[in-house]
Amino acid sequence: MTAYDKIKEHLRFHAYKKGQYKGDAPVDRRGKAQFRVADRGDHMAVRFHNTDIFKVYPDGKLTVDCNGWVNSMTTKTQLGVAARMFLPYRLSIYNKVVMGISQTTCNGYAYYDGITFDALGNLLTKPKTFQAKRINKAESKEFMDGIKTSGFKDMFPLLYATAPLEEVEWSEGHMNSPDLTDTNHAENWVNVVQKAKRDRRWSGIYPNNVLRWVERDDAKGAWSRIMKEYKRFMYDTIATEVTHTDQL
């Protein structure tokens, strides 16, 4: 039985006999009229609120269209309910981190409203390419050259070794993120290193345990955290040729 036949049969048995949605049928509960199936003439529809999220045709073709609401948790939930009830194949729509960016996938493809599959779950419409998060090499190089010229890179081992675990007062006029490429901010570099060096953890046995500042790991770990923090805005979002997660 195709998805079209299943919805048609469901409608025949569960249609509302009166009221605002007469002729339509609830998908799972009669009191949940915002989630229902309807006969559109040339296709059957699964409707959630004001959108036909599924359009299923006599040949089994399925179009998924969430009208921009695919990332709503309630929409995703109802998509899953309808797919399990009516489709002969698995339809999985969820967010997945692909090449550094959280992107909505649909059976491994990049989701878009209007994505269409045949009766066996094969993609019929043109696949959309995934995006990727990539470091801007020019900005990164400029920054790395800058911390070398300013002396921060050479000073880091000493700064790490001497950065205290206890609180240190920031110098007057400091910035939230002192410029590591400018020697005018050098007096605050130790604070940057200290932030990356330490962590606050419980010490002792309950009920006498207390929070203490401790060294998080080592200088290599602290350096990585500082670089990650300062380079977080040096990334670009680019288009790729990847259309399915199996290509990764």
Asked if 92 and 199 sit in the same domain, the reply is no
Supply 77's token pair: 């939930």
Say if residue 117 is in the same domain as residue 141.
Answer: no
Asked whether 135 and 169 are in contact (CB, 8 A), the reply is no
| Residue 29 domain boundaries | 3-128
Among the candidates 85, 111, 128, a domain finishes at 128
Are 55 and 73 in a shared domain?
yes
Same domain, 69 and 20: yes
Q: Low-confidence residues of the chain, pLDDT below 50?
A: none
Question: Are 25 and 14 in contact, with CB atoms under 8 Å apart?
Answer: yes
What pLDDT, on a 0 to 100 scale, did the predictor assign at position 171?
54
Together in a domain, 122 and 141? no
pLDDT computed for residue 22 by the predictor: 96
Strand order of the β-sheet with 115-117 is: 25-26, 35-39, 44-48, 51-56, 62-64, 115-117
Task: Return the pLDDT at 208.
Answer: 75
Q: How far apart are the first and last CA of the chain?
A: 35
Evaluate whether residue 247 is within a structural domain: no
**Domain-located, residue 59:** yes
Residues 107 and 196 in one domain: no
Note whether residue 241 is domain-resident.
no
The CA radius of gyration of the chain, in Å to the nearest whole number, is: 28
pLDDT at res. 177: 77
pLDDT in the model for residue 144: 98
Q: What is the pLDDT of residue 206?
A: 76
* Cβ neighbours, 10 Å, residue 140: 15
pLDDT of residue 166: 80
The reported pLDDT for the residue numbered 176 is: 61
* 104 located within any domain: yes
User: Does a structural domain hold residue 246?
Assistant: no
Could you tell me if 144 and 203 lie in one domain? yes
